[in-house]
Amino acid sequence: MSETLEVIEPATEAVLASFERAGAEEVDEAVARATEALPAWRAMTAGNRAALMRSLVQVMEDHHEELAQLEARNAGKPIASARGEIGMGIETFRYFSGAPEQPIGETIPADGGLALTVREPIGVVGLITPWNFPLTIACWKMAPALAAGNTVVLKPAELTPCTSVRFAELALEAGFPEGVVNVVVGPGSTVGRRLVEHPGVGKIAFTGSTEVGAEIAAGAAATIKRVTLELGGKSANIVFADADVGLAARSAPGGVFDNAGQDCCARSRILVERPVLDEFLSGLEAAVAQITVGDPLDESTTMGPLISAAHREQVASFLDDGETVAFSGTAPDGPGFWLAPTVLCPVDPGSRAATEEIFGPIASVIPFDGEEEAIRLANDTIYGLSGSVWTRDGARGLRVARAMESGNLSVNSNSSVRVTTPFGGFKRSGYGRELGPHALDAYTEVKTIYVRTEEE
């Protein structure tokens, strides 16, 4: 395939960059390069691999602003957010740069001898990433995969390949051997699919929609590939009447409108206990009025455009279902794929807005009565990625968080993603965990070696 891919800047609709679009053949070439690089990479001493990862951290830090500007323009995210996200990518490499030198197994008493376990790299790992946090999510996958001794072939979303391609250049600059980090820019339907089906790829780590995740799991089955999936969400933000309601209301926009709502963790269902509904809504309205939607490169911007015209249309369709708009913010006119942050209330829990992932700046407020109903509503979804509980009762906060069928919860906070803690979903939000100490499980095989010590 030798078509040209034009990458569009969502805030201006102008062409930001052009790439030669890869196809299945280029995937085969990348897998061949990654396979060739594998023996030396996995055999490298732990100290040398750790040192290379630290060198990459330094190079990324040197290019932090450049990467942030590129991400802000390509994905349409406010520059301040882009700086934070690239910073998290760097932190991810810093965190996993310690992994090569950590203990890698156990010794287990076994009849007549001793068994020991070691962790081995899987081999060539395929990484398929979405457009909403392009380089950050790629780093969540690459850092543990590389630390564990795998080589990688990364397929970024076609809408946002720029920082991933630049990253591959920086990895070489940091001293990574050729073939250890490979990036292939092309569509999911050909490049992604080939990576999933390729017999030389041992594992696929995917972040994206639940629909494509299901296709990937099915496609990987034929070669018994390992798969981890980080998929969609429809998370609940529960505000009890005994909470600091003002704080919950001020924080709510960050939980649902961050990245213009294009966030798998978006707490897009805000469940509010009926006695404090009016108080909460007036606090939320004031907070939404503070959101500045505009040019991602302007330092005062707090929300950018949506990623594409098609996505904007899909998100805006949720405003045509007849749900009551309680209030909304403002957004520029075109060019650019703008949509004002909008709060719907009261929303019927069975409606499309309350059940489907919107992945845009639309929040559904649903009133409830009592703890039991809050938990039932929160769990009434096929997803289970994130969520929050607001209450001044510490025991209730923990009790409700434990009752919620979701992988990442917070009490009196809308933040649930950290480099040092596991991240992943329950139910159709996926399986496997990224970040934190569990991430290495996703990129290694456990090998048991039994040594007989007693004589026959």
Q: From the CB of 21, what's the least distance to ligand NDP, in Å?
A: 10
Residue span binding ligand NDP (CB under 6 A) among the ranges 69-77, 93-101, 190-198, 362-370: 190-198
Tell me if 31 contacts ligand NDP by CB under 6 A.
Answer: no
Size of the site for ligand NDP (CB under 6 A): 29
Residue 81 and residue 260: Cα distance in Å, rounded? 11
Query: Is 345 in contact with 354 (CB distance < 8 Å)?
Result: no
Q: What is the largest CA-CA distance in the chain?
A: 83
Tell me if 189 contacts ligand NDP by CB under 6 A.
Answer: yes
Residue type, 312: R
Binding mask 341-380 for ligand NDP (x = CB under 6 A): ----------------x-x---------------------
C-alpha distance from residue 115 to each of 102, 104, 290, 453, 454 (Å): 19, 14, 61, 10, 13
Tell me if 216 contacts ligand NDP by CB under 6 A.
Answer: yes
Q: From the CB of 226, what's the least distance to ligand NDP, in Å?
A: 15
Tell me if 264 contacts ligand NDP by CB under 6 A.
Answer: yes
Of how many residues is the chain composed? 456
Residue written as token pair 């795998």: 150
386-390 and 236-239 beta bridge pairing: parallel
User: In the window 376-415, what residues touch ligand NDP (CB under 6 A)?
Assistant: 385
Residue 362 and residue 266: Cα distance in Å, rounded? 10
Which residue number, 208 or 304, has a Cβ lying nearer to ligand NDP? 208
Tell me if 197 contacts ligand NDP by CB under 6 A.
Answer: no
Query: Is 20 in contact with 178 (CB distance < 8 Å)?
Result: no
Please name which of 439, 402, 406 lies closest in space to residue 420, comparing C-alpha atoms: 439
Residue type, 378: A
Q: From the CB of 446, what's the least distance to ligand NDP, in Å?
A: 25
Q: Report DSSP state, residue 260.
A: G
Q: From the CB of 134, what's the least distance to ligand NDP, in Å?
A: 9
CA angle, 438 then 232 then 202, to 5°: 50
Q: Contact with ligand NDP (CB under 6 A): which of 97, 132, 151, 237?
A: 132
Tell me if 23 contacts ligand NDP by CB under 6 A.
Answer: no
Tell me if 283 contacts ligand NDP by CB under 6 A.
Answer: no
Q: From the CB of 345, what's the least distance to ligand NDP, in Å?
A: 23
Q: From the CB of 219, what's the least distance to ligand NDP, in Å?
A: 7
Tell me if 306 contacts ligand NDP by CB under 6 A.
Answer: no
Residue 309 and residue 50: Cα distance in Å, rounded? 43
Tell me if 255 contacts ligand NDP by CB under 6 A.
Answer: no
Active site residues: 230, 264
Residue 182 and residue 429: Cα distance in Å, rounded? 27
Contacts of 111 (CB under 8 A, 6+ apart): none
151-155 and 362-368 beta bridge pairing: unpaired
Tell me if 261 contacts ligand NDP by CB under 6 A.
Answer: no
Residue 373 and residue 403: Cα distance in Å, rounded? 12
Q: Give the number of C-alpha atoms closer than 13 A to the C-alpha of residue 442, restricted to the C-beta side.
A: 29
Residue span binding ligand NDP (CB under 6 A) among the ranges 208-216, 239-247, 268-276, 448-456: 208-216
Which residue number, 143 or 212, has a Cβ lying nearer to ligand NDP? 212
Residue 429 and residue 177: Cα distance in Å, rounded? 35
Tell me if 258 contacts ligand NDP by CB under 6 A.
Answer: no
Q: Contact with ligand NDP (CB under 6 A): which of 104, 143, 147, 157?
A: 157
Q: Contact with ligand NDP (CB under 6 A): which of 188, 283, 360, 387?
A: 188
Query: Is 430 in contact with 265 (CB distance < 8 Å)?
Result: no
Query: Is 19 in contact with 4 (CB distance < 8 Å)?
Result: yes
Residue span binding ligand NDP (CB under 6 A) among the ranges 176-184, 212-220, 250-258, 274-282: 212-220
Q: From the CB of 127, what's the least distance to ligand NDP, in Å?
A: 10
Q: Contact with ligand NDP (CB under 6 A): which of 101, 120, 158, 441?
A: 158
CB contact burial 23-52 (16+ within 10 A = b; e otherwise): bbebbeebbebbbebbeebeebeeeebbbb
Which residue number, 396 or 438, has a Cβ lying nearer to ligand NDP? 438
Q: From the CB of 215, what's the least distance to ligand NDP, in Å?
A: 5
Which residues lie near ligand NDP (CB under 6 A)? Answer: 128-132, 155, 157-158, 187-189, 192-193, 196, 207-209, 212, 215-216, 230-233, 264, 357, 359, 385, 430
